[in-house]
Structure formats: C-alpha cells, structure tokens
Amino acid sequence: EQAISLVGKDIYEILIKGYTEKQWGRKATEVPAFIIKRLPVRFTFDNNYFNDRYQGIPIGGYNKLIEGLLEGTEVRTGIDFFSDRPYFELLADTLVYTGKIDEFYRYQFGKLAYRSLRFEEEILDCPNYQGNAVVNYTDAEVPFTRIIEHKHFEFGIQSKTVITREYSTEWKENDEPYYPINDHGNNDVYRQYKELADKEENIIFGGRLAEYKYYDMHQIIEEVLKRF
C-alpha cells in the first residue's frame, strides 16, 4: 500500500514487487513500509538514487577511507570477539560493538532474523559488460537481485571485466548477516536487547547489526559524527 500510494500500481508491479520479494524472501505485504519510504520519488529526469547535492564514493574506494581512519592504530583481523570475550572487554575503557546485538547478550531473549547474501563472481573476456557499476534486476523470474561490474567504480580500462551476481538468501548459522528484518516480531525482541544496551556505560552499540536497523552508508557516517 505504501509503494502503490507513492508510484501507482504499474510501476509497483514492474519495478518494486518482484525485487522486494526476492530481496526479503517474503511477500511484499509482509515487509515494513519504511523500506520503500527510503526511496525518493521525483517527477523529474534526475536519475540519482538520493536527493543529496553531492553523491559518490571515496576515490580509491571505502578501503582507502578505512585505512586512513585506522592509521596509527593497532588492528587485528580474523579474530572472534566471543572466543575470548573477557580479554577483549578489558583491552580498553570503552568498547565499540558493531556485531549482532542478540549474540552479544547470548540470545537470552531469542534470536533475531537477518537476510544474507550469496555472491557469484565471473571474469568475462570483454572490456565492458553492462556499462554501469550496478544494475538491479527487478523481475521475480531472475534469481539474482543485481549485477555489480567492479571496474566502473574506478573507471578501469582493463581488457577484461569482473562481474558479481548477488543473490539474497535467508540467514542461517555461519552465514554473514547483512540486513535486519524489521517486522513487528523481530522489533519486539530487539527492544528487549536495547533496554539492556541502554544501561551499559562503557559500550557503544553501532551499525546495522548492533542497532538492528537498516542504514545506508551516508547515514552511518552521519551517526558516527554525531556520536563522536
């Protein structure tokens, strides 16, 4: 109903319904309305995703941005925080936690649901496959949600190209959780965890998993600046 009120039934059927149900693994009627409210509706020929005046990604990609932020900081990767939790919690006066909040509290109120992703990469013997970094496939008959052609993020001129097909899947143990499923049941469980989190004095919970909230990148950066 939210989508149809914004764009009408034709565009809803062509562009939104199939993609939404592929992405979330649920009927569109079961997906929270705020998901579609994220998308701006414009009666112009502006094909940008957002309404912001300046849009883009960092030159060199997000890795370069993160490397700059972490310069001069000790970094350890490939480590499971929960494998030696008491040790890591005592490393600093304040802990910034960006993992799953239900796991942090040992699932005492139950497990939250997430969507995950599966990636299928392919090297193609051509300089250009789709002419754009990301193309979304909105119809339900195509099993993947989008194809990413990586060279277009940096305007590469290589003779071959690498593409990644992205498939949305239901999260299960040992999968990477990507998207919180903010239906009423999951939100009720999250609120119980948030009550515990709000009482913590030396822990900052942030990000999609720790706040069980859908964030776009610009919103994440804004939230970090606010908290800092």
Catalogue the active-site residues.
38, 42, 115, 146, 166, 214, 216
d(CA 197, CA 134): 36
CA dist 119 and 193 (Å) reads: 31
Residue type, 119: F
What is the Cα–Cα distance from 136 to 145, expressed in whole angstroms?
6
3-class DSSP state for residue 120? strand
Between CA 219 and CA 207 the distance in angstroms is 10
CB atoms within 10 A of CB 195: 10
Cα angle for residues 212, 4, 54 (degrees, 5° grid): 60
| Residue 67 token pair | 């490397």
Question: Residue 157: how many CB atoms within 10 A of its CB?
Answer: 8
Q: Could you tell me the two tokens for 168?
A: 């949305």
Q: Is 112 exposed, middle or buried (0-12, 13-18, 19+ CB in 10 A)?
A: buried
Quote the CA–CA distance of 207 and 110 in Å, as a whole number. Answer: 20
Cβ 193 vs Cβ 101: under 8 Å: yes
